[in-house]
Structure 1
Amino acid sequence: MEKIYLITDIPGYTPQVSRLLSMMNYARYTTLSAVENLTSNQLDFLLDEDSNSIGMLLLHFAAVEFAYQVFTFEKRDLNKEEEAVWGPALDLGEAGRREIRGHELSYYVDKLNAVRERTFELFKTVGDDWLHQEEAFWHQKPGNHYFMWFHVFEDEINHRGQIRLIRKKLKV
């Protein structure tokens, strides 16, 4: 984290993979800063009956990253067991509101860290050429791994805006 403001080489990774991971690290750093010191009740707070809680959004970040690990590195969709674990966090909605609650911040941070550690291990196995490999993506349009992994942290940045709004409403 000492080089958090540098998009640069990371030892053990190719140049473009390093830059992608650098951006992911910064996005995560700012996310964790946005939720620092929140209580379980604050993490569960809902602006209204249809909204997401901060805890839901944090678990969503881990779920999206896990799903992209499976999709891009293993070339498959989530299986039934993985869907049971990650589905409510991926979909958010009613199941998320019902099932994702009552946890301390450390629970979410541990999930985020475990998934991110696996991401870093998986990225050690590929290089810059892999990032540019194309395959059918959303609605069967061409996409490459670079875009797919950009979307992982772009989604986090987008939802972090929700987190900041919710935190503001909590007046913390």
Structure 2
Amino acid sequence: MSTSHVLLGLLATGTMHGYELKRAHDERLPQARPLAFGQVYATLGRLLRDGLVASAGQERSAGPDRTAYVLTEQGRAALDQWLGTVEPPMPYVNSPLFTKVVVALLVTNVDKARDYLIAQRHAHTDRLRELTALKAAPSATVDDVVAADYAIAHLDADLRWLQTTLGRVADWHREVHS
């Protein structure tokens, strides 16, 4: 994720200060890792330096002064360019799940490898249930539902892969250890 582009996108909706940007990020991307305030302000500093945002003045409301930021024309152009660039499918399998399964097959016996895969499948199934419940909750926002749909699709793909791999454990183990 490009934090700078996310902040540019949020600023495209209107002027905000750092605290508002952090809150908007965490609300709009509910399944993403929350942004740290330090990351927000460091990113704003770089965006300001590069002319992609500008200070829109100070405001004080029962606390320290807060600098509000506004998207510049150059920032809008950078955001439009980023949004218009197609994300290429990932060329490499870069997943802790995949890596752990391969290592488990290398260093354990068939039964332990199966146990690991079954435990992982249970964890994925539990998370799938949580996300499905989140989508059905009366308080679920469109942001929640869209994020849950994305996560569910990925969990479903992982679950299908785990099931297929469970069927191949003995063959894989035999091949690796022959």
Instruction: Name the TM tier (shorter chain).
Output: under 0.3
Compute the TM-score of the two structures, normalised by the length of structure 2. Answer: 0.26
Q: Which has the higher strand share?
A: 2
Q: Could you say which structure has the greater relative contact order, defined with CA pairs below 8 angstroms and 6 or more residues apart? A: 1
Bigger radius of gyration: 2
